[in-house]
Chain A
């Protein structure tokens, strides 16, 4: 299960709602925030899902930008090895 870290810049005046909305999801965790935005981590099932999550997030109406700054593939590799 890949883990991705994002910097999310919300649209003006939407940060609280956006964070509340994200906190309802089990697969994400909101981290540190400042006046520009906040850090976010997402745990997804596979890389395709990870990519889709990032793309989807960027399209949210309240999101100005979502920049991927960290991505961990290690679990995917481990899982594949285990299944063999």
Chain B
């Protein structure tokens, strides 16, 4: 009887599988499964932050009706944050952009796609050398790659830069100057294995809540993990910390040097690790000059605990406590940071210095021992850093200033020799300054909202309106308000996509639903303009074979007309796959080998470098530079920084000094201003403010004021406070002892609220190496109004 029953179930299983098979699965449903609830469930990474949580997206009748954490995804193991659980709602705001618009007689007017594309192409044809593209860490890999090839390969113009310049550039230059190649060595598994966590100005509880849960949940399982929260304000993260070390803004530079000084003075640094893996370097720029360990030791002597207390405000006891953990070789220490260190006028230096601490203590290159830069955006790594959508860069870690790199790229793209311009374009702040001065005539903005996020906004906003501004977006924003052309875009699972997260995990998803109205993919928009230029005879849109720049052929050698929406949008054509596979060979050039598209389809992302083993299986790499894990590490080296600048397999320990910030509080402007994000909102709130549940949780911006300062100024929660800097002012309600509590003399304001533009107040100063602006400190005054 049992056998019969089993046979019956087997037949049922075969029938079910056969029925789906005969039902002719469209390509977009490969990997999808129909649940008992009648929903088609498919994997995707979350749309929001750089953590890269996996979500399962439930679709019914062409609409996303459910989202749940993906239990199979190793990033989040089924857990999501408040934003993640509400991701699907971002698709369905009432005011989604549905029609292309062109400004006519001062007013944005609905037009056809043909007219919008032709308007852009005509302008670019005349101004191809003064046109720019301003993109995003929320660009998919294919979107960023298309923009690069379009402007750098098609227009011989390097003015492509992303909003990631505002959040990750210091981490990038920090890694490049430390070990010669971008992106972290470790992975999220190190979060499970460390026993000591040091947060360098990082409010993980709100900014990376799922990873934070991954850490604090370990305590619930009985594991011990000691948390140091180095910060300028108490936050929800502080509530879980064992030690809160409150430092004066910019004091982190001195703290890191102070730890190194203690380790060396007390003879508690890891001598073998240092001898085997470190070179020493002095200087303020990116190149520096060599120095000996003895010279470095002498240089560090300034950073006594007393000096650190003077400039950073933490006591000698606190500094020694933190240093004692790095002095203990039995510890497994993980350092984490994000905007607190990166949005810093010495962002590159502080990144260098945190590596110094880990290198001197040997806390690097082993499970649980690493220094890890968290990313803000879902594909700041995958797109901006790996594809290289930066003004100076080319895909695969190539740079435009290097002739060999240009030639390699010209070969990959089949361009005539000399097509790629050797002169780097404008980085983000310089790009908007150039638009301001009209040395750049126009810009195409995709997936970002610069009229809310560029520092010192008053200087740029009015001028943008006078330039040729194309904006591809999903909702009206204060940037679309200024636009000449507005293009309605497909969002998240309305298109195919690939994101690369903080831990080098490349994750792919398929289009699951149609975008609303006439909204179309950003990739298609750029391909359509490129082809229109080709039709107009623009010489840059022709490759050296005489073909269109973006030529792809089918199995029969016939050109796929991907610039035609009906072809692009056909279920039989996957342009994302075509572009990704064209891009993939670039990634081998700096040992960042990403997995083939079809392998990504089958996996919940893979950590690059991904290589095939002897049996032909694709194998990911958890820890770069580590023997036994990273396939490119030299045998017997243990740890091998194979892209180290000195070409000896070593990384650099930098002598970078403490330097006061460019604007510090004074009599007239006696407070520090720090800006940032909140749990409920994603960046400028254009998506999350349209999600009822999230907006109800945090409807408006506010200013956090220290309780003592508030008492001295007779300010209570809810009182309106005017915050003024030398650049501008805004009024906000005060919040005292609320979600966060800043140190005395500092106020905090979130930037999500488009009706309260704190970036009219912030300072236009940036790290001279990374060009990343400092949104974390400038001088303001506050008045009760």
User: A-side interface residues toward B, CB under 8 Å?
Assistant: 1, 3-7, 9, 29, 31-34, 36-41, 43, 58-59, 61, 64-65, 67-70, 72, 74-75
Taking CB atoms and an 8 Å cut-off, the chain B residues in 308-339 that contact chain A are none
Interface contacts beyond A36-B25, A67-B30: sample of 9 additional A-B pairs, CB < 8 Å, sorted by A: A6-B17, A7-B25, A39-B17, A41-B13, A61-B617, A65-B30, A67-B20, A70-B12, A75-B9
Instruction: Name the A residues within 8 Å of B25 (CB-CB).
Output: 7, 36
- Bound complex: CA of A29 vs CA of B9, how far in Å? 12
15 A/B residue pairs, CB under 8 Å, sorted by A: A1-B6, A5-B13, A5-B14, A7-B17, A33-B21, A34-B22, A36-B21, A36-B25, A41-B13, A41-B17, A43-B10, A59-B618, A67-B30, A68-B33, A72-B12
| Contact call A43/B6, Cβ cutoff below 8 A | yes
A63 → B minimal CB distance (Å): 8
B602 at the interface (CB under 8 A from A): yes
B204 → A minimal CB distance (Å): 31
Which residue of B6, B33, B617 is within 8 Å of A69 (Cβ)?
B33
Instruction: Name the A residues within 8 Å of B21 (CB-CB).
Output: 7, 32-34, 36-39
Most chain B CB within 10 A, of A29, A36, A40, A69, is at A69
Instruction: Name the A residues within 8 Å of B222 (CB-CB).
Output: none
Chain B: interface size category: 20 to 34
Which residue of A64, A65, A70 is within 8 Å of B16 (Cβ)?
A70
- Bound complex: CA of A7 vs CA of B13, how far in Å? 10
| Contact call A29/B598, Cβ cutoff below 8 A | no
- Bound complex: CA of A74 vs CA of B13, how far in Å? 13
Which residue of B16, B22, B31, B617 is within 8 Å of A5 (Cβ)?
B16
Instruction: Name the B residues within 8 Å of A61 (CB-CB).
Output: 616-617
B636 at the interface (CB under 8 A from A): no
A9 → B minimal CB distance (Å): 7
- Bound complex: CA of A4 vs CA of B34, how far in Å? 14
- Bound complex: CA of A37 vs CA of B22, how far in Å? 9
B409 → A minimal CB distance (Å): 31
- Bound complex: CA of A72 vs CA of B601, how far in Å? 25
CB nearest to A37 among chain B residues: B21
| Contact call B20/A69, Cβ cutoff below 8 A | yes
| Contact call B14/A39, Cβ cutoff below 8 A | yes
| Contact call A40/B17, Cβ cutoff below 8 A | yes
- Bound complex: CA of A3 vs CA of B22, how far in Å? 21
B57 → A minimal CB distance (Å): 15
A32 in contact with B14 given A67-B31, A69-B33 (CB within 8 Å): yes
CB nearest to A28 among chain B residues: B10
B32 at the interface (CB under 8 A from A): yes
- Bound complex: CA of A6 vs CA of B13, how far in Å? 8
B106 at the interface (CB under 8 A from A): no
Instruction: Name the B residues within 8 Å of A38 (CB-CB).
Output: 21
| Contact call A72/B9, Cβ cutoff below 8 A | yes
| Contact call A5/B6, Cβ cutoff below 8 A | no
Most chain A CB within 10 A, of B18, B22, B24, B601, is at B18
- Bound complex: CA of A43 vs CA of B6, how far in Å? 9
Instruction: Name the A residues within 8 Å of B15 (CB-CB).
Output: 31
| Contact call A41/B22, Cβ cutoff below 8 A | no
Interface residues of A, dominant DSSP: strand
B4 → A minimal CB distance (Å): 13
| Contact call A31/B9, Cβ cutoff below 8 A | no
Instruction: Name the A residues within 8 Å of B10 (CB-CB).
Output: 3, 29, 41, 43
**How does the 8 Å CB contact mask read for B474-485 relative to A, with 1 for contact and 0 for none?**
000000000000
Instruction: Name the A residues within 8 Å of B22 (CB-CB).
Output: 32, 34
| Contact call B616/A70, Cβ cutoff below 8 A | no
**How does the 8 Å CB contact mask read for B1-43 relative to A, with 1 for contact and 0 for none?**
0000010011011111110111011000011111000000000
| Contact call B30/A5, Cβ cutoff below 8 A | no
A22 → B minimal CB distance (Å): 13
B29 → A minimal CB distance (Å): 9
- Bound complex: CA of A59 vs CA of B25, how far in Å? 21
Instruction: Name the B residues within 8 Å of A39 (CB-CB).
Output: 14, 17-18, 21
- Bound complex: CA of A29 vs CA of B6, how far in Å? 13
| Contact call B602/A58, Cβ cutoff below 8 A | yes
Instruction: Name the A residues within 8 Å of B24 (CB-CB).
Output: 36
| Contact call B13/A59, Cβ cutoff below 8 A | no
Instruction: Name the B residues within 8 Å of A68 (CB-CB).
Output: 33
- Bound complex: CA of A61 vs CA of B228, how far in Å? 46
B552 → A minimal CB distance (Å): 18
Instruction: Name the A residues within 8 Å of B20 (CB-CB).
Output: 7, 67, 69
| Contact call B13/A3, Cβ cutoff below 8 A | yes
Most chain B CB within 10 A, of A6, A33, A41, A58, is at A41
Most chain A CB within 10 A, of B14, B15, B21, B33, is at B21
B3 → A minimal CB distance (Å): 11
| Contact call A31/B17, Cβ cutoff below 8 A | yes
CB nearest to A59 among chain B residues: B617
A49 → B minimal CB distance (Å): 16
- Bound complex: CA of A9 vs CA of B31, how far in Å? 10
B615 → A minimal CB distance (Å): 8
CB nearest to B32 among chain A residues: A67
| Contact call A31/B6, Cβ cutoff below 8 A | no
Instruction: Name the A residues within 8 Å of B34 (CB-CB).
Output: 69
- Bound complex: CA of A38 vs CA of B25, how far in Å? 12
Instruction: Name the A residues within 8 Å of B9 (CB-CB).
Output: 3, 72, 74-75
- Bound complex: CA of A31 vs CA of B15, how far in Å? 8
A64 → B minimal CB distance (Å): 6
A2 → B minimal CB distance (Å): 9
- Bound complex: CA of A33 vs CA of B22, how far in Å? 8
Instruction: Name the A residues within 8 Å of B616 (CB-CB).
Output: 61
Instruction: Name the B residues within 8 Å of A40 (CB-CB).
Output: 14, 17
CB nearest to B618 among chain A residues: A59
**How does the 8 Å CB contact mask read for B599-629 relative to A, with 1 for contact and 0 for none?**
0011000000000000011100000000000
- Bound complex: CA of A40 vs CA of B602, how far in Å? 17
Instruction: Name the B residues within 8 Å of A65 (CB-CB).
Output: 30-31, 601-602
B758 → A minimal CB distance (Å): 48
| Contact call A67/B33, Cβ cutoff below 8 A | yes
B473 → A minimal CB distance (Å): 34
| Contact call B33/A31, Cβ cutoff below 8 A | no
| Contact call B14/A9, Cβ cutoff below 8 A | no
Which residue of A4, A5, A59, A75 is within 8 Å of B602 (Cβ)?
A59
Instruction: Name the B residues within 8 Å of A31 (CB-CB).
Output: 14-15, 17-18
Ranked nearest first, the 3 interchain pairs of A and B with the lowest CB-CB distance are: A5-B13, A39-B17, A31-B14
- Bound complex: CA of A78 vs CA of B10, how far in Å? 17
CB nearest to A57 among chain B residues: B602
A4 in contact with B33 given A31-B18, A37-B21 (CB within 8 Å): no
CB nearest to B612 among chain A residues: A61
Instruction: Name the B residues within 8 Å of A32 (CB-CB).
Output: 14, 17-18, 21-22
